[in-house]
């Protein structure tokens, strides 16, 4: 059987554009480890093919690289990796960050996003990037969430991390703590809750979502004695949204909102900032969670962890979150078919 016959024989329905992220991190390892299993979608990896070959050799894994060409309709078999080659500037060393490859990382994201927006793919799945080294390379970059919003001309998007029994969304994402209070405006809260509500209905099939909302200050401001954002910003925004029939609870103190009696009623919890919500989520489900960007005009899922350079090339990286990110993207893509 010729290669083209083999390729023709395996038709795919769902196509995912996958970026491994930082080349010195565990992203390439995850791609190689997950290539050992069968997937019900075509996974096209936007990465340097030589990086994947070298990392596979380091991990003692045998892989076959299949070059991707536009329109190719083929699902990889275990051991095969379909690659849309994006060259690194410099040969990466597992575990050692190098700003010379900062532009490479952003190129993989740009190309995957563009191909996806042109309709070539059903979703984008991202591995972890190192925000610091990208900035060191001279590219202003605060995260995939913000990057894809700009690339797709979307004014407001929402970061959600989801694990079994808990979905946490963030009102603000990658900004210094000192800027959080100013970023929490009535308009932002209304937009974020509106996006959450719509996506809980459309992406998660929840007809009447219940959203629990954290306060910003200790004890949700203690009637204004410990901060006034709850009184002046969050409550008026929620009250306005309630007029349209949304089921919203809060603002509640963030230190007690994450308890079973609330969580069993909550379809999602809105935290005001990154480290208010994500430590709880990761304590519950690190390695078994998926990051989903709500409000984008396309499906984008990602891992719950970072670049873990301490584990790159060791074979010790847990593939659980990346596998979930791929499976969630497939599930969401099927809903849209
Ligand atoms: N989706 C993304 O692109 C994300 C990127 N990051 C970036 O990652 C970089 C490093 O961040 P850190 O705070 O050190 O977090 P990290 O998640 O890379 O590492 C924290 C700890 O968790 C362990 N760990 C992480 N992923 C693991 C896995 N799959 N299997 C087993 N152990 C794992 C690491 O070994 C380390 O001990 C930062 O630049 C950060 O911005 C962080 C979170 C998400
Ligand atoms: N803590 C989540 C994180 O840093 C990943 O964000 P993003 O790169 O998906 O925007």
- Residue 13's pLDDT is 85
Query: If you measure from the C-alpha of residue 11 to the centroid of ligand 2, how many angstroms do you get, rounded to a whole number?
Result: 33
CATH code for the domain defined by 156-294: 3.40.718.10
* Token pair for 189: 């809260």
Angstrom distance (rounded) from CA 23 to CA 137? 14
Tell me if 16 CB under 6 Å of ligand 2: no
pLDDT tier at 98, thresholds 50, 70, 90: very high
In eight-state DSSP terms, residue 220 is G
- CA nearest 318: which of 329, 303, 331? 303
pLDDT in tens, 245-303: 999 999 999 999 999 999 999 999 999 999 999 999 999 999 999 999 999 999 999 99
Mean pLDDT throughout 87-114?
98
Angstrom distance (rounded) from CA 158 to CA 203? 13
The model carries a pTM of 0.95
Mean pLDDT throughout 229-235?
98
Provide the total of helices (H) and of strands (E) in the chain, helices listed first.
14, 12
- Residue 157's pLDDT is 98
Residues 6+ apart with CB under 8 A from 335: 203, 205
Residue minimizing CA distance to atom 12 of ligand 1:
306
* 26 has a pLDDT exceeding 60: yes
- CA nearest 290: which of 303, 281, 300? 303
- Residue 185's pLDDT is 98
In eight-state DSSP terms, residue 130 is -
Ligand nearest to the CA of 294: 2
Ranges of each domain in the chain = 12-154+296-336, 156-294
Angstrom distance (rounded) from CA 309 to CA 204? 33
- Residue 142's pLDDT is 96
Nearest-atom index, ligand 2, CA of 129: 8
Ligand nearest to the CA of 278: 2
Share of the chain above pLDDT 70, in %: 96
- Residue 118's pLDDT is 96
CATH code for the domain defined by 12-154+296-336: 3.40.718.10
Nearest-atom index, ligand 2, CA of 131: 8
Other beta carbons within 10 Å of 255:
13
Residue to probe by mutation, ligand 2, list 131, 143, 328, most atoms within 8 Å of CB: 143
Q: Report the binding-site residues for substrate.
A: 144-145, 282, 291, 300
- Residue 6's pLDDT is 46
* 7 has a pLDDT exceeding 70: no
Residue to probe by mutation, ligand 2, list 130, 174, 175, most atoms within 8 Å of CB: 174
Angstrom distance (rounded) from CA 61 to CA 39? 18
Q: Same topology for domains 12-154+296-336 and 156-294, yes or no?
A: yes
CB 31 within 8 A of CB 81: yes
Q: What is the DSSP string of 148-193?
A: HHHHTT-S--EEEEEETTEEEEESS-SS-HHHHHHH--HHHHHHHH
Tell me if 323 CB under 6 Å of ligand 1: no
Q: Report the binding-site residues for a divalent metal cation.
A: 174, 219, 274
In eight-state DSSP terms, residue 42 is E
Average pLDDT, the chain: 95
Size of the chain, expressed as the number of residues it contains: 337
Tell me if 308 CB under 6 Å of ligand 1: yes
């Amino acid at each position: 059987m010729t290669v083209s016959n083999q390729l023709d024989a395996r038709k795919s329905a769902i196509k995912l554009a996958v970026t491994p992220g930082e080349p010195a991190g565990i992203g390439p390892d995850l791609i190689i480890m997950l290539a050992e299993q069968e997937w019900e979608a075509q996974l096209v990896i936007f990465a340097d093919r030589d990086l994947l070959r070298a990392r596979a050799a380091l991990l003692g894994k045998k892989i076959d690289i299949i070059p991707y060409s536009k329109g190719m309709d083929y699902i990889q078999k275990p051991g095969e990796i379909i690659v849309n080659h994006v060259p690194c500037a410099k040969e990466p060393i597992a575990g050692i960050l190098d700003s010379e490859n900062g532009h490479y990382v952003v190129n993989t994201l740009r190309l995957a996003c563009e191909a996806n927006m042109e309709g070539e793919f059903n979703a984008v799945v991202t591995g972890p990037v190192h925000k610091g080294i990208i900035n060191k390379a001279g590219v202003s970059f605060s995260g995939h969430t913000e990057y894809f919003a700009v690339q797709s001309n979307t004014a407001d998007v929402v970061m959600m991390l989801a694990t079994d029994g808990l979905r946490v969304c963030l009102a603000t994402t990658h900004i210094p703590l000192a800027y959080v209070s100013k970023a929490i405006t009535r308009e932002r809260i209304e937009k974020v809750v509106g996006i959450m509500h719509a996506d809980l209905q459309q992406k998660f099939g929840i007809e009447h979502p219940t959203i629990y909302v954290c306060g910003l200050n200790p004890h949700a401001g203690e009637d204004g004695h410990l901060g006034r954002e709850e009184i002046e910003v969050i409550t008026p925004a929620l009250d306005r949204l309630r007029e349209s029939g949304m089921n919203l609870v809060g603002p509640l103190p963030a230190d007690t909102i994450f308890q079973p009696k609330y969580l069993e009623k909550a379809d999602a919890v809105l935290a005001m900032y990154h480290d208010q919500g994500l430590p709880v989520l990761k304590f519950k489900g690190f390695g078994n969670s998926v990051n989903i960007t709500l409000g984008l005009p396309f499906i984008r899922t990602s891992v719950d962890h970072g670049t873990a350079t301490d584990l790159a090339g060791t074979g010790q990286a847990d593939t659980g979150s990346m596998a979930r990110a791929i499976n969630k993207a497939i599930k969401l893509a099927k809903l849209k078919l």
